[in-house]
Amino acid sequence: NLARRFAAKQQQRILDVSLDQDRLEAMPVHEYVDLYVV
């Protein structure tokens, strides 16, 4: 579903963080949400 909305580079950044639990837990929520800004 990411491909329907985001460019390939942005998709990869979202996936990289989302699939790395340690990195995701360390990231502030506002930074994670910012990854989804079109």
26 phi/psi in degrees, rounded to 5 = -80, -20
- Digit-coded pLDDT (tens) for 1-38: 999 999 999 999 999 999 999 999 999 999 999 999 98
pTM summary value: 0.86
**9: Cα separation from own chain's centroid:** 10
Structure confidence at residue 22 (pLDDT) = 98
| Domain extent at residue 15 | 2-35
Give the total number of structural domains in the chain.
Answer: 1
